[in-house]
């Protein structure tokens, strides 16, 4: 079943008129008492947990429920294509690194609204999400000046049966799970539990890589949180207002579509090699780096799609993977007139890693 019921297909975001004064809608005491008697379960307010995607929602138990919300203060419920913000329904270790960016909405009263699909991929699909606090929500659950609205990308990984990524062994060689029984299950291709663990391995790998890279200063999207096989991260792009007052989110284009000036091309090269150096110093190679996995957000580059990060020490294919990354990106820059050497870049990155 879809994560958001009746999710709208358009990427248009209707700008909220926050300057308009709303009439008071606070219920009477009798209405509050009626609401208490009819109070529904938390899991019904939250909607299905991401890990239950594709399952019968009746099977989602209390373990998947998010934080309790006071219905006496906030009787607003998510509408079509919405769910409560999942920020506090995940463990602290499943959230992005601190300090939190000031644009991120962390209020319990916020709704996540699915606005449409941004990209389909071999192993996952990316959806545009608006996390915003309704105008009717009570105040006081966030510090003054906190963000009220932000755009996110929800990357949702498919199960192994529905994925199209068939080169997994080259990337996962040398990886280990936290529990030995999960590792044994993954090695048994006939095990249903092993397939389930393998499906979450890609999401876990990308989230951990994004956390480490962001903290080290690499040009990657901020990783907001992970919940099962869903990774929420920063939306890289801009918003454009049309004549009717609607706001359209426009994702940053991929590097492969750009025709930069000579100066900007050199800047792009410096940014990219700096990002690859951060990866190497942390002991990793991207594994699938190409102009298709690099966004050109104006004059800055942002590296994306990191589920297949390769351990340069534990993976026996690491050197070949790193060399392939170097040759792929160097070929693009060379074709646009910049004199770069893939072998020299490879040697430099390998030296930084070791």
Q: Please give the Cα distance from 288 to 217 (Å, whole number).
A: 20
pTM exceeds 0.75, yes or no: no
**What is the average pLDDT score of the chain?**
77
Which H, E and C letters describe 182-227, residue by residue? Answer: HHHHHHCCCCHHHHHHHHHHHHHHHHHHHHHHHHCCCCCCCEEEEE
Percent of the chain with pLDDT over 90: 53
- Check residue 154 and give its pLDDT: 97
Contact in structure between 115 and 10 (CB atoms under 8 Å):
yes
Helix (H) or strand (E) holding 245: none
Give pLDDT tens digits for 3-21: 554 544 444 444 333 333 4
Give pLDDT tens digits for 96-115: 999 999 999 999 889 999 99
Q: Please give the Cα distance from 65 to 250 (Å, whole number).
A: 33
Give pLDDT tens digits for 14-61: 433 333 344 445 555 555 445 544 443 333 333 333 333 333 333 333
Give pLDDT tens digits for 195-241: 555 668 889 999 999 999 999 999 999 999 999 999 999 999 999 88
Would you give the end-to-end CA distance of the chain in angstroms? 47
Q: Return the higher-pLDDT residue of 92 and 342.
A: 342
Lowest-pLDDT choice from 105-109, 167-171, 302-306, 319-323 = 167-171
Contact in structure between 220 and 303 (CB atoms under 8 Å):
yes
Phi and psi of 279, rounded to 5°? Answer: -55, -50
- Check residue 196 and give its pLDDT: 54
For CATH 1.10.510.10, the residue range(s) in the chain are: 168-220+252-353
Give pLDDT tens digits for 144-156: 456 799 999 999 9
Q: Using 50, 70 and 90 to split pLDDT, how confident is the model at 191?
A: low
- Check residue 173 and give its pLDDT: 58
Strand, helix or coil at 93? helix
- Check residue 57 and give its pLDDT: 36
Residues facing residue 111 across a β-bridge = 84, 132
Which class is domain 168-220+252-353? mainly alpha
């Amino acid at each position: 079943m879809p994560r958001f019921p009746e999710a709208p297909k358009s990427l248009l975001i209707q700008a909220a008129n926050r300057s308009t004064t709303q009439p008071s809608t606070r219920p009477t005491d009798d209405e509050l008492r009626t609401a208490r008697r009819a109070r529904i379960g938390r899991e019904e307010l939250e909607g299905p947990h991401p890990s239950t995607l594709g399952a019968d929602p009746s099977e989602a138990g209390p373990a998947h429920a998010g934080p309790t919300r006071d219905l006496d203060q906030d009787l607003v419920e998510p509408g079509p294509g919405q769910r409560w913000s999942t920020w506090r329904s995940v463990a602290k270790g499943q959230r992005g690194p601190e300090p939190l960016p000031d644009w991120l909405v962390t209020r319990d009263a916020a709704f996540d609204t699915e606005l449409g699909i941004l990209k389909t991929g071999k192993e996952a699909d990316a959806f545009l999400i608006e996390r915003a606090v309704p105008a009717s929500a009570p105040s006081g659950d966030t510090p003054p000046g906190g963000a009220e609205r932000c755009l996110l990308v929800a990357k949702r990984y498919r199960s192994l049966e529905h994925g199209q990524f068939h080169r997994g062994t080259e990337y996962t060689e040398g990886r280990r799970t936290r529990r030995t029984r999960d590792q044994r299950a993954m090695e048994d291709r006939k095990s249903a539990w092993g397939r389930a663990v393998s499906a979450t391995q890609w999401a876990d790998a990308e989230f951990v890589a994004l956390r480490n890279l962001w903290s080290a200063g690499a040009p990657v999207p901020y990783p907001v949180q992970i919940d099962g096989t869903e990774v929420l991260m920063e939306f890289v792009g801009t918003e454009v207002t049309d004549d009717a007052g609607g706001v359209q989110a426009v994702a940053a284009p991929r590097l492969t579509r750009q025709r930069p000036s000579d100066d900007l091309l050199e800047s792009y090269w410096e940014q990219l090699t700096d990002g690859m150096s951060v990866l190497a110093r942390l002991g990793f190679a991207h594994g699938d780096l190409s102009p298709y996995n690099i966004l050109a957000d104006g004059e800055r580059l942002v590296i994306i799609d990191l589920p297949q990060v390769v351990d340069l020490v534990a993976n026996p294919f690491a050197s070949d993977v790193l060399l392939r990354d170097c040759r792929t990106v160097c070929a693009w820059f060379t074709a646009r007139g910049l004199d770069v050497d893939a072998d020299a870049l490879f040697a430099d990155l390998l030296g930084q890693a070791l």
